[in-house]
Chains A and B, each alone.
Chain A
């Protein structure tokens, strides 16, 4: 049973379609991410949930109850804004206590609850500090404390990590996930950063042009993208258009320009018939130069380009006019590849994914 459910939400700003019939079901206690390029509708979605925007059509159900008529202050959502939106005229304590006072929580309870919230975000004893004395990371944690102290039904996070520097971002996202999980709070997280979404989420919805392209676990999105947009947006890949020769035991046999064939697993209910052309995706780390195990060969080729990034190298390998992207780990200084090197490329049929 979904805890928070968006049903057929549509919203237009003038001529621009911001959301087009979006439906999502978020489970209780789930850490759920809305991922997509800027302008895809992810921030619009979170603002609809918070109540700052109103859908042209569709429903928003929280525990089965339509919350559309409720103004933001009656929805009991804790929101962390991209800019944090800390009240600059109030001290840390008053910022965190704001929601409690607005809810008319008895004033004797407030200091203890504020203290607990600040402890949770690792800022004990910072009650009397001014917002301006805090570092960016501390401000972000005060914003989180302010959102969780009211014990919201849903925690909404609008790109809360985007204003932090890279190293802080990684630690913070680990803490954020830990916090949400230990409180058991249902969380909706907006981000444009795929790696961030994958690292932190139970499930991810990829949005594009106002509609949902795919919902699933990070693994599903990465290895079984629902369409070419998902395949291209998430991670790197080689995508080929190949004619289908035949279908054998749930595998499609596709013809490569080299004359060899490429074997790809078919999902049940596929539409592919022999003679049709399909798009097939190969992830770069699933390709290798070692014929280990039960791998099949794609043919002989030549390394055209090498991008060394430290732990990995990204190689462009040409096989009979087709360019493949290959990622290999850099295990030591000596065992590197060189441009122009002749190689043979191998793949496993279960990693070749036919795009629906």
Chain B
């Protein structure tokens, strides 16, 4: 172990204090509030929740929706991973890369491009209607099936990425061993391949489940009255029924934390990691020309389908606001939407707000991640489990939950009780961005610290460098790529953040996502889409930069 200076103790105390105050305390506050009503303390709020059929419906809907999302995402994502990573056919590499596209859709932006495509007056809907000469739209993207469709469309990427990673790690001599021992292809698949992929499948399932439970944008815009917990919290708060909002928050938080714990446990065990390292087999050549053609066609079709939201968003971003009414495609095009974005102060302000708030939050995230990553990677740090749990907790908290807990804690100035008056000010939203993105930055930084050969710092010290000198000259430069990649990801995530924003934004700090929604409400589709394209471009730039410049040897710069 390296020589630990006393200043580490100070850093540790500051970090722990900050996390307890900003991450844990607001949740405890909500928990205690959920047991209070009109000055009385008790479980009456919970009784009311479980007696109210619409609340129960929301809980059941949330659970069913999440299970359904897991099922559909898995059915799409797993075969895709196999097709693109076990077989060789023309265009495979491009298709394999493009299949991760949904990751590049900020939540709200994804949902609105679905509206443009499959909504009641969407492009595909109208096209089908005219093609089939129907008098009414053939389908409407509303209700629980619409939410499921959107979830499957975006969350299959988790399964795709996890299973792809699992396949890349897999030692194919195991399959060969099974075959040579007399197992058929099918038997080998079920007896060897599938069990080896269990950690990937479980990890992807839990992540999909948690994301679905927290999902807000899709139910908000397409639910059509479908009750889900994440949305109920927002509605209860809007209706002024804070006690109920707290109960809903606690129940949603508990179910999320439960799944986070399960996820962590499976990540920790990785039971089927192969004993040997070698034996990787390249994708197998598909010989039969018809199947080769079919696979390429399937790949191309799929990629086109996956690209549609992006393409349609770009198309509409050039449409003139207010001209698109009953046509399949917008009739008039203009560059003015983009011109507005950067010249009109009214359009520019949300961009400036988002940049400012995301910038501040990310700078803090970066600093905290360096300290937390360093302490978490050091086995001598006391209370690592607690520290780790505090760092991961924001990941388990749905955006609405986080926003509500912050809004209910920082709504009055009681500095002695750790409460500040931030509600209604500019500062609450950047604080929410910061807290939400803590895990996103800490995890890659922690991984970088853990991958560091401890001998490097020791070599620096034995060469006469003080602890600080070695940290500055050796340790920091080596974890910087991971830290920068994580920070950039946090930055774009914050730029497009919608779920917390809609709960706590004020007139002073209206972010891009809220402006997109406002433009949508005024039927300014072009302007809304232009904002969306801007966000996607920023996100793509970040992924490109972090993949090409900051990726580490094992490509683990970006978690999930």
Contact = CB atoms under 8 A, between A and B. Distances in A.
B382 interface: no
B1 interface: yes
A99 B455 contact: no
B181 interface: no
A77 B464 CA distance: 9
Interface string B456-493: 10111111111101100110011000000000000000
Given A72-B462, A75-B462, A83 B453 contact: yes
Contact of A102 (B1, B453, B465, B478): B465
B3 A85 contact: no
A275 interface: no
Majority SS of interface residues in chain B?
helix
Contacts, number: 80
Most chain-A CB neighbours within 10 Å: which of B453, B461, B462, B473? B462
Contact of B463 (A52, A71, A89, A99): A99
Contacts of B474: 87
A76 B453 contact: no
A103 B464 contact: yes
Interface residues on B, range: 20 to 34
Nearest to A156: B462
A51 B467 CA distance: 13
Contacts of A83: 453, 455
Interface string A27-71: 000000000000000000000001111000000000000000001
Contacts of B460: 87, 98, 102
A78 interface: yes
Given A51-B3, A72-B3, A79 B462 contact: yes
A150 interface: yes
B462 A51 contact: yes
Given A52-B2, A76-B464, A102-B469, A89 B477 contact: yes
A81 interface: yes
A81 B464 contact: no
A287 to B, nearest CB: 44
A82 B460 CA distance: 15
Contacts of B458: 50, 52, 72, 79, 81, 85
A159 to B, nearest CB: 12
A73 B455 contact: no
A269 interface: no
Contacts of B477: 89
A86 B478 CA distance: 12
Nearest to B461: A72
Contact of B456 (A72, A75, A85, A103): A85
A156 B467 CA distance: 20
B44 to A, nearest CB: 51
B459 A81 contact: yes
A88 interface: yes
Given A50-B458, A71-B461, A76-B464, A98 B3 contact: no
A77 B453 contact: no
A318 B1 CA distance: 53
Nearest to B481: A89
Contact of A150 (B463, B466, B470): B463
Nearest to B463: A99
Nearest to B1: A52
Interface string A78-110: 110111011111000000001100110000000
A146 interface: yes
A73 B478 contact: no
B3 A52 contact: yes
Interface in A276-304: none
A81 B454 CA distance: 11
Contacts of B453: 83, 85
Contacts of B478: 87-89
B157 to A, nearest CB: 32
A82 B465 CA distance: 20
Contacts of B467: 71, 73
A73 B459 contact: no
A82 B470 CA distance: 19
A79 B460 CA distance: 10
Contacts of A50: 458, 462
Interface of B: 1-3, 453, 455-456, 458-467, 469-470, 473-474, 477-478
28 contacts: A71-B466, A71-B467, A72-B3, A72-B462, A73-B462, A73-B464, A73-B466, A73-B469, A75-B462, A78-B462, A78-B463, A79-B462, A81-B455, A82-B455, A85-B455, A85-B456, A86-B459, A87-B459, A87-B460, A89-B477, A98-B463, A98-B473, A102-B466, A102-B469, A102-B473, A147-B463, A150-B463, A156-B462
Nearest 6 CB-CB pairings of A with B? A99-B463, A85-B455, A102-B465, A85-B459, A72-B461, A102-B464
